[in-house]
Amino acid sequence: MATNRILHLDMDAFYASIEQRDQPRYRGKPLIVARPAAERGVVSACSYQARAFGIHAGMPTAVAVRKCPTLVVVPPNLDLYKDVSRTIMSVLRQFTKRVEPLAFDEAYLDVSDRCPDWTSALELASTLKQTIFEWTNLTCSVGVSFNKFLAKLASCYQKPDGLTFISPTNFPLFIEQTPVTKFYGIGDVTGNTLRQMGIFTGKELMRLDEATLVRLFRKRGSVIYQCIRGIDERKVDNNRQSKSYGKEYTFAQDVNARSDELDEALRNLTILLCDRLTQNGHQTQRLLLKVRFADFNETSKRFTLEQPTDYASVIEETTKLVLQRVVRDSRKIRRIGVYALDFALPLSLNTNSQLSLL
Ligand SMILES: [Mg+2]
């Protein structure tokens, strides 16, 4: 089988870098992109200078400001970031049509048919970085490897402005020294479980057999087992639409799981979500409910409806049941989110499109 040559590109501190690019007075300063503390904002991006203060994405603005009193807080300008993102993605498509965007600032590229060997893949990666910089005045980090898992691992290896190659022969070395929380598929919860077992690095994770990982993390355990052994068959999917969208809401004051405020927020979220589904002519069957508690612990639950729908009342009703199952105690809730994870065209639309073909 021919070797796949996969690139993973990740812009460096994307939102924060755009703000620093456009406002010379922000350059070299600790800066976050976030809504202000008074609005209970959360950090969505931080400059490298801000990271030096221990500030990271997901942290409340109030905490970030406490850590660094001179911190510049810039409210998010999503239209601008989206615009820059569009430029980046079209630059990437000049190099290959096989581009799979993962986020505004992240994409996989499959350059196998353009690059007969690793030398040419690395040259292409370097040209890519240069071209992105010429078009946007922003730096990015690129990982090059033979599958998605390792390419993504490579891109975060030397940030910012990095170019890292993980080869078919040296990949075990990379796996061994990497903290498990950096691996794709290992989030906070999984990472915590592993930490409690005394497992911090890939080297320690390699000692667990597949059965143990499956017992701990079900299907994902098996994926993790394969990935750290260099096996990841996922293809770069250039037809991928944004596979999920959702809405979140932060309460002005923390609320109980059984309260009118929560019910109302849930209703509004599902209405907004369904508006978006309807606009795109979509229905959804798989959803995700996210709950953030007052103590900033987070929990989420995936669930599946009996059939695809774009009816807010159907989604609302099921989401409520799921919420009651997820939150059984009296913990206060700070934020909730509802996401649609898949999209189907409604049956009637399918029929129409067939008719128009005739
Ligand atoms: Mg990034």
The answer, yes or no, to whether residue 1 has pLDDT greater than 90, is no
Gap between the Cα atoms of 140 and 130, Å rounded: 9
105 is in an annotated binding site: yes
Residue 81 inside a domain? The answer is yes
What is the 261 CA–ligand 1 centroid distance (Å)? 35
Tens of pLDDT along 277-318?
Answer: 776 667 888 899 999 999 888 899 999 888 788 888 889 989
CA of 307 to the centre of ligand 1 (A): 36
Residue 345 has pLDDT above 60, yes or no: no
Give the pLDDT mean for 238-254: 79
Q: Has residue 357 been placed in a domain?
A: no
pLDDT in tens, 9-58: 999 999 999 999 999 999 999 999 998 988 878 888 999 999 999 999 88
How many Å lie between the centroid of ligand 1 and the Cα of residue 45?
9
How far, in Å, CA of 38 to CA of 44, rounded? Answer: 16
One domain for residues 85 and 188: no
Domain-ending residue, one of 167, 184, 204: 167
Mean pLDDT of 64-87: 92
Residues 65, 3 share a domain:
yes
Percent of the chain with pLDDT over 90: 61
CA of 93 from ligand 1 middle (Å) equals: 19
Do 85 and 117 belong to one domain? yes
Domain-located, residue 102: yes
Write down the pLDDT at residue 138. Answer: 98
The verdict on residue 356 lying in a domain is no
**Spacing, Cα 283 to ligand 1 middle (Å):** 30
The verdict on 84 and 184 lying in the same domain is no
User: Is the same domain home to 147 and 62?
Assistant: yes
Contact 67, 55 (CB under 8 A): yes
Question: For residue 243, what pLDDT is reported?
Answer: 61
Residue 354 counted as domain residue: no
Specify whether 274 is located in the same domain as 221: no
pLDDT band at 344 (very low <50, low <70, confident <90, very high): low
- Residue of 19, 39, 100, 106 marked catalytic: 106
Output the CA angle 314-319-324, nearest 5 degrees.
Answer: 135
Token pair of 342, please?
């898949």
In a domain, 355, yes or no: no
Q: Do 147 and 190 lie in a common domain? A: no
Q: What is the CA radius of gyration of the chain?
A: 22
Of the residues 188, 205, 236, which one is the last residue of a structural domain? 236
184 and 249 fall within a common domain: no
Region 235-244 average pLDDT: 74
Number of domains in the chain: 3
CATH number at 144 reads 3.30.70.270
Q: Do 113 and 196 meet the contact criterion of CB atoms below 8 Å apart?
A: no
Quote the pLDDT of residue 240: 65
What pLDDT, on the 0 to 100 scale, is given for residue 218?
A: 85
Structure tokens at 273: 């979500």
**Residue 263: which CATH number?**
3.30.1490.100
Q: Phi first, then psi: what are they for 201, rounded to 5°?
A: -120, 170
Residue 10 marked as a ligand binder: yes
**Residues 220 and 290 grouped into a single domain:** no
If asked whether residues 178 and 127 sit together in one domain, one would say no
For residue 355, pLDDT over 60 is answered with no
> What are the residues whose beta carbon lies below 5 Å from ligand 1 (ion)?
10-11, 14, 105
Report yes or no: 236 and 148 within 8 Å, Cβ to Cβ: yes
Cα 141 to averaged position of ligand 1 atoms, centre (Å): 8
Q: In the predicted model, what is the mean pLDDT of residues 178-190?
A: 84
| pLDDT tens digits for range 130-180 | 999 999 999 999 999 999 999 999 999 999 999 999 999 999 999 999 999
Structural domain boundaries enclosing 263: 245-349
Q: What is the CATH number of the domain that holds 225?
A: 1.10.150.20
Which residue, 106, 140, 167, sits at the end of a domain? Answer: 167
pLDDT band for position 88 (cuts 50, 70, 90):
very high
Look at residue 347 in the predicted model and tell me its pLDDT.
42
Tell me whether residue 358 is in a domain: no
Per the annotation, the verdict on 106 as an active-site residue is yes
Q: Which pLDDT belongs to residue 354?
A: 32
Three-state secondary structure readout of the chain? CCCCCEEEEEECCHHHHHHHHHCHHHCCCCEEECCCHHHCCECCEECHHHHCCCCCCCCEHHHHHHHCCCCEEECCCHHHHHHHHHHHHHHHHHHCCCEEEEECCEEEEECCCCCCCHHHHHHHHHHHHHHHHHHHCCCEEEEEECCHHHHHHHHCCCCCCCEEECCCCCHHHHHHHCEHHHCCCCCHHHHHHHHHCCCCEHHHHCCCCHHHHHHHHHHHHHHHHHHCCCCCCCCCCCCCCCCCEEEEEEEEEEECCCCHHHHHHHHHHHHHHHHHHHHCCCEEEEEEEEEEECCCCEEEEEEEEEEEECCHHHHHHHHHHHHHHHCCCCCCEEEEEEEECCCECCHHHHHHHHHHHC
Highest mean pLDDT among 158-172, 319-333, 341-355: 158-172
Task: Read off the pLDDT of each residue in 62-82 and give the average, rounded to a whole number.
Answer: 93
- Indicate if 162 and 189 belong to the same structural domain: no
Whether 136 is covered by a domain: the verdict is: yes
Separation between Cα atoms, residue 320 and residue 335, nearest integer Å: 15
Q: How far, in Å, from the CA of 260 to the mean position of ligand 1? A: 38
Regarding whether 124 and 31 lie in a shared domain, the answer is yes
pLDDT of 312: 86
Q: What is the pLDDT of residue 103?
A: 79
Mean pLDDT, the chain, as a whole number?
Answer: 89
